[in-house]
Structure 1
Amino acid sequence: GEFVCNKPMGRGVYTWPDGNSYEGEVYSGIRHGSGTYKCTKNYLSYKGQWYQGERHGKGTVYYNEDKTSWYKGEWMKNNREGWGVRCYPSGNIYSGEWKNNMRHGEGTMKWLKQGQEYVGTWQDGVQHGRGTHVWILRRVDGSQYFQSNHYKGDFVQGQRHGQGTFHYASGAVYEGEWRNNKKHGQGKFTFTDGRVFEGEFVDDQMMTPSLRAPTPLGAFPLSDSDSVLGPDMALNIECLLEKVPERKRDTERKQVEFVVLRQDIQLRSIYSFYSRLGCVCSPDNTFLLSRLQLWRLLKDCNIHHHGITLTQIDHVIRDDASSAEIHSPFTPILLWKLLRCLVITAYHIYNKDMMSQKNLLASCLSKMMTDDILPNAKNVKGFLFRQPDLAVVAMKYVKRCWEVYQAYCRVSTASKDDLTMTCRHLLWMFKDLQLLDHKLTTVKLMDIITAESCDPSNRSSCLDLQITFLEFFEVLLGCAEVKCQQTSEVLEEGRRPLSGCDSEARRDVPEGEASEEMMQTINSPSLSSEDFTAQDVESGDIKTNINETPSSAEHREERSEGNDVQTSVMETKDHKVELRTQAVHQFFNHIFFPAFDHHQLVTRNTEEKLRQDALRHNTLA
């Protein structure tokens, strides 16, 4: 290597008698800078930064020949310190902060074989502080559980200790104190059927057997052994049974359970279908229905056409939920909560029509299942979930749009502790944000708002109706199509196949220039829903049979044409997905959010000016 003043300096290669070697930068004969060290005896190797002969800075170590055990990250004086990723021979992976070769600080550990994951604080190599531990339960479709066991709370020396919440796969929840991995101290245990125990726990055991029902009026439900349903489907309908003579309550409950049992497969399938809407994937194949997806199910089944709004349904199924939770799109809905929602909603819709029936609650549920749920479920409507590719993109904007929705909610006249939005408030918002123009007119906006109402022509009748966040968000997506349509048409024109010399000329345009030109004009809406789907591409009408042997040039030409058709279909589908995606990005990032932020800034400045003027006036007075 290089020498300066008779000293190894610069770049060079060291080779030791035992076969170990170093190649890289050297200062005064010491490894300093960037370089690679290899140990032939135990197959250890390090590539990265050095400081005065020690691993220091960023670098990667492989600890075995197969390179299945490694660390990539920051070093300090030969120790793992800072941020880095460690893959162990077992396949387990830790990514996060390190100190003195130990997991220390914020980090994530995945135990692959055990199916566990911890995200949170570490100290001296073990969980210590706040964190979340998940026991991943790999489930198959149609199985009993829709979530995995997970604990969120305090850890001390690797054990659950302090305050924490444990969510069980069955749907049960414990919130309270822990000691040495056991429920110990004051806590609240919510059973899968909604029953609640609040009191003292000692070594995982309830000390005072006092249960209360989740509703203020009802007694706690029958035990799971008395029910014909499984624990994940145990019904809590005490609020309805209170309306039934006491001698008939057990019979009413049993008959409702029989209706649910007859539709068990369909109900689980519906739950599974809607819980996946807008979701990309789940590591344990578990999907938990959210209130946002529940709203979509109810709208798909036209429940809102029966004289009850989605916000009213939120109220009748609220239990003891806080006012902040009853309209939140993020609230998880377990299977038993969905069933409870359907039973209560069916009663409110059909109780007058079914009054003469022997079993009122069961008759109402059976009628709603037959007339509304089963014929319409899974036929997804609306602007959000109807197009799966667009839904995944749109869901990224839900959290920010929820903040906007809350900013425009007002106190409800029906309930003083309830903040909701009406269609009138929504119109005022579009006016305040100056979003209306020659493309998005007031009439067009009202058409979007009333698209799924039972009487779209009667626009004025819906002005004072309360709307949920789903309805608010889908109006925004509908407006994205309208406001971005012009650019979409320009793009569509540019995408039409060229022929003859035009096609040849197009080939001469460098790919980078073509892409840049395309990106300058992308501002597109969602096109017609009559797109080719993946099923179209895979169908026999388009795909040629690879087992057929062409017997002539004509057959070869037909196959070539078939492949061209398949390629064209895929390109068309990909292009339309791109247009929809760009429309959503353009509307939210360049139109809606900037308009909202500007209006908020102007409002704050105006309020501050008025406050200063009032203070000045009071001072002069």
Structure 2
Amino acid sequence: MAPKAKKSASKDDESKKNKLKKNPTVEDGESEINKDETQVSISVNDVYNSTSELSKQEPSITPEETVQITYEEPVLTSIIVESYTGEKDKGLFEGFGKAMYKGGCIYEGEFHLGLMHGKGTYIWPNGIIYEGDFNNNEITGNGIYRWCTKINDPSKWSTYKGQVYKGKRHGYGVFKSGNSPIVYDGEWHMGKRYGKGKMTYDSKGLSFYQGDWVNNKKFGWGIRHYPSGNVYQGMWVNDIRHGDGTMRWFDKNQIYTGQWENGIQNGLGEHNWYLSRVEMTQYTLRNTYFGNFKNGKRHGQGTFLYANGTKYEGNWENDIKHGWGKFTFKDGRVYEGYFEDDKMTDSPTYKRTSKISQEISKIKTRIPSAGTTLNVHYIRTNQETTRHDFDLKLDLSSIIEDFDDDKIDFETTQAHKTIIRYLDLFKQIYRFYSQLGFDSSPDNTFVLNRMQSWRFMKDCKIHLNEHYLTLMDFDRLLNPKMNANDLHCPFDKILMRDFFNHIVIIAYHLYNEQFEGNGSVLSWCIEKLIVDNILPSSCNVQGYFYSDVRKTLNIIPNMLKAYEIYKFICKKRNKSPHDFTLTMRDFLGLLNDFKILDAKLLSTREIIEVMSSDNPIVYDSENAYNLDLEITFLEFFEILIGCALKYNTKKNLNKKRVLTSKLTLNSEQEASDNNQINEITANEINENKEDKINIHDSDDVVESDEKSERQGDVLNSAKTNQMKLSSKLSTKSLNNNENEDLDFEIWIEKNNYFFNQIFFPAAEKYNTVTKLVNLSI
């Protein structure tokens, strides 16, 4: 009998097809001050679907997947020969022949010592055909199965072409269904999809899954392109989105990146609602929530960044602000207190003015629903800000107390003027680094995170200073009031106004001791930072992680796992603020505990070479090692990538498998290559260094003509370099050829092998042993 086609269907499909229901959720920060000024509210409107409802738009198991057909390989019947025609040797079948077996099976092909051995064709009575290799009466080697579901129409036959073992699809092979457009191209294990593979569900190749499989189910990391055009990229368990992943709803202009549980957003994540870009707007036109989710809803601690520049940080409950929180208006003013049902319970402490009222009236806070047409307008007035009256409020409280009382206003004013003077440059830097690691954005806008900020600081060699201040030291200086547990979180968002604050504070701590003169210390330090660090080195991306967007996107799943390990191994400092850190010495000890250090595979010297490649002060003036330097997660992860490239994996690489199973996946990322700009030429650097700062400002707040003339040289130099930098930012620099694609494939394979076969298993084993030891104690 021919094997029957087996259909699998999920009982939950019907519930997942239900129409999306409207669900009231937090708005975009809309503030309304009532007439008696006794209450300020941030209201809730029933304007968009919750993320839990939105996720049902693309159920993990779609209808087209439930109708896929599974074919089983037939077994060889009892081999009783009824007739034979062909060559013989010493009475045994030898050479080419044709045998008729009991039950109606037919074999035509090569024989050896009386057994089917070599190339041949085997036909079952129900019409199933196998053509390929035989080994001692077993179907083993390479071959083609044909399930002849319609004997008279070969185009409707289901086929498998690839490796087989004992009659089962085993190894690499391609299955094509005759009853549907389904095609599976990838790895098999004893008749089941197992390993890397791509399942295509439509004839045009627009709907597919590519990634890891276990026992015919999506299990591990993979990409799912849905018929709607929406895409999920991340972890799967038993055909369900589960673990870390990113869903892009292109038809709704929304993206969620974070943790999933049973197909729903659950845990830590980030959701973005993209709005229509309006030309010449000051703020990025998108809403962003970063924090905890529960059953698809914002629940717990989280931060919402609104399209108009306002921000809420605090507690959430079932998608609304509820509990203690902090609301920052776009002009820098802050309300901090309790929220109930999405509203402030008390009035802000600052006085109401006509300007504040005007700003509040402009705030557009509604988040778009999955099916609602958005109508958001950026309100422009005759008072629209220019560079000269730019409404920027710097928070310099962490450094301003170093100055005498009569100097505070002067220094604050001069710092503000200097930031405004170089505003275009800082904006270009911010936009460039906020794009690192992203393939696209619907509105071409991004928000800088701390990990990208660390990359900016390292590229500008800010960590190579005479004070031996590490990136972690700068985290403490830049965020003195932040909770110790969040102080070094790589995914925290940094708004543009916060970035301006950071520039001033970094410049002060690097260069204030070098200042000589009677002018503004902060202004002098900022301009020195620009000339000595930013202009020569910014936007020239170094390191292993961000230098190539294709590599970044492919290694993100490993990054998320590595961050969990990083948090686990960090140690609490005895000094205030008692944050959790890791040193290079601790890192080496970790690899030793994990049993990864090996003189032949990965030596201590090789690891130190990786550490020093982006941080030369690992070696001191006497060529001794300085391993007590603290390392952020960016540095930790880039060292791991460097270790992966150093690790001796030559025997473990299978280039053929890499090219056949992953090339298609990587081709999807090639469109994003144009977003990466990698270098500022040596000529520009030399030109920048010729511009020296020699400014002695007057004590008077009003700038004198002499001061303006001296500062003009620096400003003109900066403008020239800004134009050059802008030109580079608009250049499309990546045009990979086939050799570069092969190098890229090998780079990915080395990293996947090191992380998934060496580092992660070693970490899990170490964690298990540690728990057992603690229990025994």
Give the TM-score category using the shorter length: 0.5 to 0.7
| Structure 2 residue corresponding to 1:423, chosen from 570, 584, 587 | 584
**Structure 1 residues 301, 162: CA separation in 2 closer, same or farther (over 3 Å shift)?**
closer
Quickly say closer, same or farther: Cα 1:82–1:472, change in 2 above 3 A.
Answer: same
Is 1:597 aligned with 2:764? yes
Deviation at 1:247, TM superposition (A): 3.1
| Structure with a larger share of its residues in helix | 1
Amino acid at match of 1:374: L
Question: Residue 83 of structure 1: which of 4, 11, 16 is its match?
Answer: 16
Q: Do the aligned residues in 2 keep the contact of 1:383 with 1:474 (CA within 8 Å)?
A: yes
Q: What is the aligned partner in structure 2 of residue 281 from structure 1?
A: 440
In 2, are the aligned partners of 1:193 and 1:336 still within 8 Å (CA)? no
Amino acid of the structure 1 residue aligned with 2:626: C
Change in 2 beyond 3 A, CA 1:245/1:210: same
1:172 partnered with 2:339? no
1:16-35 correspondence to structure 2 within 5 Å: none
Is the aligned partner of 1:449 residue 2:611? yes
User: 3-state DSSP class of the match of 2:463?
Assistant: helix
Please give the alpha-carbon distance, in whole angstroms, between the structure 2 residues aligned to 1:118 and 1:471: 26
- How many angstroms apart in 1 are the aligned matches of 2:302 and 2:619? 52
**2:207 is matched with which residue?**
none
CA 1:242–1:206 in 2, change beyond 3 Å: closer, same or farther?
A: farther
Task: Report the AA paired with residue 168 of structure 1.
Answer: Y
Q: Does 1:269 align with 2:428?
A: yes
Q: 2 CA distance for matches of 1:343 and 1:384?
A: 27
> Shift in Å at residue 238 of structure 1?
2.2
Task: Give aligned pairs, total.
Answer: 438
Residues 472 and 632, structure 2, Cα contact 8 Å, conserved in 1:
yes
1:361 maps to what in 2? 522
TM-score computed with the length of structure 2 as normaliser: 0.49
Counterpart amino acid of residue 419 in structure 1: F
**What is the TM-score normalised by the length of structure 1?**
0.60
- For structure 2, the 5+ residue unaligned runs are 1-5, 22-48, 59-240, 259-267, 352-383, 663-672, 676-734
Q: Give the match for residue 96 of structure 1.
A: 56
Q: Would the alpha carbon gap of residues 226 and 239 (structure 1) be closer, same or farther in structure 2, given more than 3 Å must change?
A: farther
Distance change in 2, residues 1:251/1:479 (3 Å): same
% identical equivalent positions: 34
Question: Given residue 17 of structure 2, which amino acid in structure 1 is its aligned partner?
Answer: G
Whether the 8 Å CA contact 2:658–2:745 is kept in 1: the answer is no
Tell me: CA distance 1:272–1:183, structure 2 relative to 1, closer, same or farther (3 Å).
Answer: same
Structure 1, 318-327 or 424-433: larger mean CA deviation: 318-327
Q: Rate the CA distance shift 1:598–1:380 in 2: closer, same or farther, 3 A.
A: same
- 1:577 is displaced (CA, Å) by 1.2
Deviations 1:211-249 (A, max 9, x none): 59xxxxxxxxxxx99995645x53211222222233332
Instruction: Show the counterpart of 1:580.
Output: 747
Any idea what the Cα deviations from partners look like across 1:338-385, whole Å, max 9, x if unmatched?
111111111111001114241011111111011101211001111111
Residue 392 of structure 1: aligned partner? 553
Q: Identify if the C-alpha distance between structure 1 residues 261 and 572 changes in structure 2 by more than 3 Å, giving closer, same or farther.
A: same
- Which residue type is aligned with residue 188 of structure 1? K
**Secondary structure of 1:303's partner?**
coil
Classify the secondary structure of the residue corresponding to 1:352: helix
Determine which structure has greater relative contact order: mean sequence separation of CA pairs < 8 Å that are 6+ residues apart, divided by chain length: 2
Deviations 1:532-557 (A, max 9, x none): x989xxxxxxxxxxxxxxxxxxxxxx
- Work out whether residues 278 and 385 of structure 1, in 8 Å CA contact, stay in contact via their aligned partners in 2: yes
Report deviation, 1:328: 0.9
Q: Is the 8 A contact 1:94 1:110 kept in 2?
A: no
1:150–1:236 CA distance, 2 compared to 1 (3 A): same
1:481 maps onto 2:630 in alignment: no
Shift of 1:404: 1.2
Which whole-Å CA distance do the structure 1 matches of 2:757 and 2:317 have between them?
Answer: 51
Residue of structure 2 equivalent to 1:242: 401
**CA distance in 1 between partners of 2:575 and 2:646 (Å):** 34
Q: Deviation at 1:209?
A: 3.8
Matched, 1:463 2:627: yes
The answer to whether the 8 Å contact 2:607/2:643 transfers is yes
2:145 is matched with which residue? none
CA distance in 1, matches of 2:444, 2:484: 32
Residue by residue over 1:265-304, the C-alpha shift from the partner in whole angstroms, topping out at 9 and shown as x without a partner, is 2211111111111112233433111111110100000001
Offset, 1:169: 2.2
Instruction: For residue 446 of structure 1, report the CA deviation from its aligned partner.
Output: 1.0
CA contact (8 A) 1:186 1:199 kept: yes
Pair 1:260-2:435 in alignment: no
1-side partners of 2:316 and 2:611: how far apart?
49
Tell me the residue number matched to 2:495: 334
Q: Which moved more, 1:280-289 or 1:174-183?
A: 174-183
- C-alpha change, 1:179 and 1:402, in structure 2 (3 Å) is closer
Q: CA deviation at 1:175?
A: 4.9
Shift of 1:471: 1.0
- Aligned equivalents of 1:177 and 1:569: distance in 2? 46
Change in Cα spacing, 1:335 to 1:404, as seen in structure 2 (3 Å) is same
Residues of 1 paired with 2:18 and 2:744: CA distance?
Answer: 36
- Corresponding residue to 2:349 among 210, 217, 241: 210
Aligned counterpart in structure 2 of residue 314 of structure 1, from 457, 475, 493: 475
Query: How far apart are 1:116 and its partner, in Å?
Result: 7.1
> In the superposition, relative to structure 1, how do residues 411 and 119 fare at CA in structure 2: closer, same or farther (>3 Å)?
closer
Deviation at 1:421, TM superposition (A): 0.6
Within 5 A, what are the aligned runs for 1:77-156? 81-84=14-17, 96=56, 135-139=273-277, 143-146=281-284, 148-150=286-288
Q: 8 Å contact 2:619–2:626 — kept in the other structure?
A: no
Q: 1:572 to 1:357 in 2, by over 3 A?
A: farther
Q: Residue type of the partner of 2:775? A: E
1:268–1:426 CA distance, 2 compared to 1 (3 A)? same
The 3 A distance-change label for structure 1 pair 320 and 296 is same
TM superposition shift of 1:163: 10
Q: How many Å apart are 1:455 and its aligned residue? A: 3.9
Shift of 1:322: 0.7
C-alpha RMSD of matched pairs (Å): 4.7
8 Å CA contact retained: 2:583, 2:629: yes
One-letter code of the match for 2:552? A
